[in-house]
Structure 1
Amino acid sequence: MARTRLITAAEGMAEFQQALGLADALGRLDDNPLPASVVVTPVDPAPEGVRELAESLQEMTGVDEVRLDLAWLERLRHLAELGSRVALALGVLFGLGVLLVVGNTIRLAVESRRQEIEVVMLIGATHAFVRRPFLYSGAWYGLGGGLLAWGLLGLGSEWLAAPVSALAASYGATFQLPQLGAAGSATLLICSTLLGWLGAWIAVSRHLADIRPR
């Protein structure tokens, strides 16, 4: 268990009155019919682990009833899986977009400097020498795209944080959208830079093969 919170009978009645708005009617009761309860937050939110925790708590002495909303946990897990797949699909599309955009940009750059390339190749420049500045440009383009994607992810996470928290709170739970963190951010920027470099390498290699010094 990650943490527990004790709710006394009086606190439970106060929350019940506030939720239903029947403070006057419930205040006329001679005795408080609500028992004390303990809200348990599991370490592992997976439905299987929570089910095992509920079964073990039910077997403890002094526990009358354990209430668990497995349907909500299943819906939450499905939503998380959907979010992961959407993020993966967007990542693949982003990678393809980087390759296409960088490749097209580098292709135009090569065409605009075609005469310069022919001149340097006439005096003995190798393909690796000609290719190098374009690869640097592609890497910078990829890094710029990665920074843009990182910023959009941050804004999207902030934009969705409040609705997701409100949805979880309506079921009496807490949930936060996962964040990239330092490792995830570094991975995103490195991958975007490598994709930019790869797109530039493909574009330059294809066009250098067609350039013949005259």
Structure 2
Amino acid sequence: MSKQIVPDQPGVRVGATPKNTTEFTPVKEPDTFWQLLRIGLTNHKASIIDSVQRLIRQPLGSFFTWLVIAVALSLPMGLSLLLDSTDQLDGSWQQAAEISVFMDIKATETQAQELVEQIEKLSAVVEVNLISPQQALQEFQALSGLGNALTELPSNPLPYSLLITPQKIDKEALEDLKQQLATMPYVEIAQLDMQWVERLSAMLRVGKHFIFGLALLLIAALLLVIGNTIRLHIENRRTEIEVIKLVGGTDGYVRRPFLYMGMLYGLGGGLLAWLILSVILSTLNNSVTELAQLYGSDFSLQGVPLIDGISLVFGAMMLGYIGAWLAVSRHLRELAPR
């Protein structure tokens, strides 16, 4: 029996391509903070680019989502800006809230001037106008239509009076100022019509509460819209996500692109809302200015201030982030590989 020959080297098949021997080098784990930071920034950059590309590939759907967000944000923001614009009317309100002070009938002009100087030193007072008995009588004759009858009076029955413009339109502050004026020397009566002030304050409070409630409802609606939109993106990428989780992808890695997508929806909606508000207020301001000029007022609507516009965009991005987080967190458990 012949002895079996064992070759020293493995045989090579005729015509086969020679194999190149390669050495396997294991991937070195990052061991410094800057390496970890660089890797994290790279991952975030890739997620942002991917989210932007997906929005660009669906321009019509993305635009309508931005439009819905913009309309929902524009309504409460616009009402709030209109309410804030009424601050320009403070001068007119202060004049309408003037406190009328009637001095003693026997008070002289010198005493009236002393009282004016004393009142002007009060921090709660903006302006003091002194009305002499002669001026008061002339105004009464012009307004009452009893000019001929008043000329038959033996003497002027009207005293010196003062019209005091307050610094702040507040019910308690006005009442305190009225009481303080009533105790001053030579003052007979201090009068203040508080009814219109109370009505104005009540209307402003109702307006602020209405805007706050409307904002809460629209914020809840926006969260639902953004969450539903992100949910559709999740369903379209279900297989991809399951594969990522199958090879060891973490929940944070899966969640990241959807969070950026939600923020991009908020960013686009916020910028579009800023543009819509600017156009509407600018168009409406022309009519408001013409109406105000007919009443001798320089009132005009304020545009969207830069700080408010930036806050609007930032708030919209936060709403997009929250809506995406809620949507992904809800469906993340269902995306486990089977």
Distance in 2 separating the partners of 1:80 and 1:111: 46
Distance in 2 separating the partners of 1:191 and 1:60: 52
Distance in 1 separating the partners of 2:144 and 2:312: 50
Aligned amino acid, residue 248 of structure 2: G
RMSD: 4.3
Distance in 2 separating the partners of 1:112 and 1:125: 18
Structure 1 residue 122: Cα displacement: 3.4
Task: Return the structure number with greater helix share.
Answer: 1
1:56 maps to which residue? 180
SS at match of 1:40: strand
Structure 1 residue 124: Cα displacement: 2.9
- Alignment identity in percent? 39
Structure 1 residue 57: Cα displacement: 1.0
1:141 maps to which residue? 265
Q: Which runs of 5+ in 1 are unaligned?
A: 170-174
1:212 maps to which residue? 336
TM-score (norm 1): 0.70
1:203 maps to which residue? 327
Structure 1 residue 80: Cα displacement: 1.7
Matches within 5 A, 1:1-214: 1-6=124-129, 8-9=131-132, 13=138, 17=142, 20=143, 26=147, 30=151, 37-147=161-271, 187-213=311-337
Structure 1 residue 75: Cα displacement: 1.1
Aligned amino acid, residue 335 of structure 2: I
Structure 1 residue 16: Cα displacement: 8.0
CA change 1:5–1:144 in 2 (3 A) is: farther
Q: Deviations over 1:136-191 (max 9, x none)?
A: 121232344445666677757x969x6xxx8xx9xxxxx99999966665555444
Does 84-93 or 7-16 show the bigger shift?
A: 7-16
Q: Which runs of 5+ in 2 are unaligned?
A: 1-123
Question: Residues 4 and 38 of structure 1 are in contact (CA less than 8 Å); yes or no, is this contact kept in structure 2?
Answer: no
CA change 1:181–1:45 in 2 (3 A) is: farther
Aligned amino acid, residue 90 of structure 1: L
SS at match of 1:4: strand
Aligned amino acid, residue 126 of structure 2: R
Q: How many residues align?
A: 202
CA change 1:26–1:182 in 2 (3 A) is: farther
State the structure with more CA Rg.
2
CA change 1:182–1:11 in 2 (3 A) is: farther
